[in-house]
């Protein structure tokens, strides 16, 4: 078990492309860190640098206080789980799991005991003599985990370990990985492009974009206080709704009409006074049907509801408001990543309402939103103007 420190780490390819720029992070012993971001954001490169599969161009990587920049992967004592699992097809499950121990020169009995122990933890005991080709996807994934666990390494590195599983299995394995990590207490660096995994697994989450760290923090903190438009749009599902607007001294004007800002928000905005162009972010769950709210402070508007999805526990209402869409480089990046590049003629909004909300397709509904929960971003820099 170990503490891992990335100190001003830079990865630049010889063609000049900057894959990771000035990455700083201190990972505490036993911590579960998630690296998340769209494809090409440098998260896998960062993981490979920690693994030793790619060299570090500048900066320092320390494991347990020791600089390991120039150490080969085998001398770093860290284990890795690959997206493709990378199981050796010519070895049985037991041999796969025992391979690192055999390379380390352990005697056969020790290897068997350790493999048995790991197999029990992962419920693989009855599959130890089978070849990977005869296993299901979930079983293969567990073997890959097992191969990492048997070594009791200083740290686990996981490169999208769940993305080859189907949705249901992915949820199961997610909880299992979380449990194993908590039991073993091994420092873990986990790469994913799936924000749900990031939110559910990590002690802390590192959001990356184009090689640059956007924000580091606990999942709850990132959700409640995104540092910029990118983090706000990336974290949360369904995604946050964005409206271009004008910030006035004590109100904000958007496609939803003019809303008075609560005192607390105004205070948090203290650095940014005066009229200016902003992008307002509202999470889907901060909408509600007006009649269900009572007299809680907030703002109301009329929504021409297109589609209603009743999920049982709540109701999703989709509608389009007249007005310009919010535009920024960060939001465009996100749209490209999700493949959601269709544009309707207005601002598409998703609202998550109480199961008892009376909204119908094709009808206009009176909706309310919580003005104390809104986020206000600078339209040009994308920075969140609300600070603690």
Partner 1 sequence: MQPETTNRKLMWWGVNAIVLLYAFIPVLWIVSLSLKDDATLNDGNYFPTSPSDDSYTAIFNNSDFLRALANSIGICIIATLIAIAFGTMAAYAIARLDFPGKRTIVAMALLVSMFPQIALVTPLFKIETAVGLFDTWPGLIIPYIAFALPLAIYTLSAFFREIPWDLEKAAKMDGATPYQAFRRVITPLAMPGIFTTAILVFISCWNDFLFALSLTSTSNARTVPAAMSYFTGATTFEKPTGPIAAAAVVITIPIVIFVLVFQRRIVAGLTSGAVKG
Partner 2 sequence: MTATPTAAAAQAAEDRMDDGTLDIARQRHTDAKRAERKLGLMLVGPAVVIMLAVAAYPILYAFWLSLNKADLRQPDANKFIWFDNYVTVLSSPIWWTAFGVTMLITIVGATLELIFGMLLAIVMHRTIVGRGLVRTSALVPYAIVTVVAAFSWRFAWTQGLGWLAPENSAPLTEFWPSIGIIILAEVWKTVPFMALLLMAGLALVPEDLLKAASMDGATAWKRFWLVTVPLIKPAILVALLFRTLDAFRVFDNIFVLTSGSNQTSSVSMVAYSNLIRGLNLGIGSAMSVLIFITTGIIAFAFIKFFGAAAPGSDAEGRR
Positions that interact with partner 1 (CB under 8 A):
51-53, 72-74, 78-80, 82-84, 86, 88-90, 99-100, 103-104, 147, 151, 157
Q: Enumerate residues 135-164 that contact partner 2 by CB under 8 A.
A: none
301 burial via Cβ count (<10 Å: 0-12, 13-18, 19+): middle
Q: Which listed option, partner 1, partner 2, none, makes contact with residue 10 (CB within 5 to 8 Å by class)?
A: partner 2
Selected range binding partner 2 among 103-111, 118-126, 338-346, 378-386, rule: CB under 8 A: 378-386
What is the residue-wise DSSP string for 92-155?
-HHHHHHHHHHHTT--HHHHHHHHHHHHHHTT-GGGTTS-GGGS-HHHHHHHHHHHHHTT--SE
Q: Contact between 381 and partner 2 (CB under 8 A)?
A: yes
Minimal distance, residue 117 CB to partner 2, in Å: 35
Contact 89, 133 (CB under 8 A): yes
Selected range binding partner 2 among 102-110, 212-220, 245-253, 306-314, rule: CB under 8 A: 212-220
Nearest to 78 by CA among 194, 190, 202, 200: 190
Q: Which listed option, partner 1, partner 2, none, makes contact with residue 227 (CB within 5 to 8 Å by class)?
A: partner 2
Measured from the CB atom, the residue of 89 and 274 that comes closer to partner 1 is 89
Minimal distance, residue 56 CB to partner 2, in Å: 9
Angle at 264 between CA 262 and CA 265, to 5 degrees: 70
Residue 134 CA, chain-centre distance (Å), reads 32
Q: Which listed option, partner 1, partner 2, none, makes contact with residue 16 (CB within 5 to 8 Å by class)?
A: partner 2
Q: Which listed option, partner 1, partner 2, none, makes contact with residue 381 (CB within 5 to 8 Å by class)?
A: partner 2
How far apart are the C-alpha atoms of 71 and 136, rounded to whole Å?
36
Selected range binding partner 2 among 8-16, 30-38, 124-132, 150-158, rule: CB under 8 A: 8-16
Measured from the CB atom, the residue of 86 and 335 that comes closer to partner 1 is 86
Minimal distance, residue 40 CB to partner 1, in Å: 19
Q: Enumerate residues 27-66 that contact partner 2 by CB under 8 A.
A: 55, 57-58
How far apart are the C-alpha atoms of 382 and 202, rounded to whole Å?
25
Angle at 363 between CA 279 and CA 307, to 5 degrees: 65
Selected range binding partner 2 among 12-20, 244-252, 272-280, 309-317, rule: CB under 8 A: 12-20
Q: Contact between 210 and partner 2 (CB under 8 A)?
A: yes
Minimal distance, residue 15 CB to partner 2, in Å: 9
Segment holding 45, helix H or strand E:
helix 43-51
Token reading at 70: 């120039």
CA atoms within 13 A on the CB side of 253: 8
Minimal distance, residue 307 CB to partner 1, in Å: 42
Measured from the CB atom, the residue of 99 and 377 that comes closer to partner 1 is 99
Nearest to 150 by CA among 123, 126, 121, 173: 121
Minimal distance, residue 183 CB to partner 2, in Å: 29
Question: Are β-strands 187-192 and 155-159 bridged in parallel, bridged antiparallel, or unpaired?
Answer: parallel
Give me the residues that bind partner 2 (CB under 8 A), please. Answer: 10, 12-14, 16, 18, 21-22, 24, 55, 57-58, 209-210, 212-217, 227-228, 381-383
């Amino acid at each position: 078990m170990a503490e891992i420190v990335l100190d001003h780490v830079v990865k630049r390819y010889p063609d000049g492309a900057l894959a990771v720029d000035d990455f700083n992070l201190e990972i505490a012993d036993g911590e579960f860190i998630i690296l998340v971001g769209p494809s090409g954001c440098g998260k896998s490169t960062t993981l490979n640098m920690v693994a030793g599969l790619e060299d570090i161009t500048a900066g320092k990587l320390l494991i347990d206080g020791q600089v390991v920049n120039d150490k080969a992967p085998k001398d770093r004592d860290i284990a890795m789980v690959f997206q493709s699992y990378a199981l050796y097809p010519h070895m049985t499950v037991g041999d796969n799991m025992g391979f690192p121990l055999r390379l380390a020169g352990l005697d056969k009995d020790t290897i068997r005991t350790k493999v048995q122990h790991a197999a029990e933890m992962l419920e693989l005991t009855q599959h130890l003599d089978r070849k990977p080709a005869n296993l299901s996807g979930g079983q293969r994934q567990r073997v890959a985990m097992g191969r990492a666990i048997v070594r009791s390494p200083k740290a686990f590195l996981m490169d999208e370990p769940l993305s080859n599983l189907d949705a249901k299995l992915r949820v199961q394995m997610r909880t299992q990985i979380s449990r194993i990590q908590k039991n073993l207490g091994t420092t873990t660096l986990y790469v994913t492009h799936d924000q749900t995994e990031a939110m559910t697994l990590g002690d802390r989450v590192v959001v990356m974009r184009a090689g640059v760290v956007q924000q580091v923090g606990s999942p709850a903190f990132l959700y409640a206080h995104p540092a910029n438009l990118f983090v706000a749009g990336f974290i949360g599902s369904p995604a946050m709704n964005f409206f271009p607007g004008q910030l006035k001294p004590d109100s904000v004007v958007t496609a939803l009409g003019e809303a008075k800002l609560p005192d607390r928000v105004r205070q948090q905005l203290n650095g940014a006074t005066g009229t200016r162009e902003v992008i307002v972010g509202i999470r889907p769950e901060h909408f509600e049907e007006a009649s269900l709210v009572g007299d809680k402070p907030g703002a109301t508007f009329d929504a021409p509801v297109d589609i209603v999805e009743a999920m049982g526990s709540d109701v999703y209402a989709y509608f389009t408001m007249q007005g310009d869409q919010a535009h920024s480089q960060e939001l465009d990046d996100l749209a490209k990543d999700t493949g959601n590049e269709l544009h309707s003629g207005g601002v598409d909004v998703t609202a998550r309402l109480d199961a008892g909300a009376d909204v119908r397709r094709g009808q206009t509904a009176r909706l309310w939103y919580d003005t104390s929960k809104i986020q206000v971003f600078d339209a040009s820099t994308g920075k969140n103007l609300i600070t603690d």
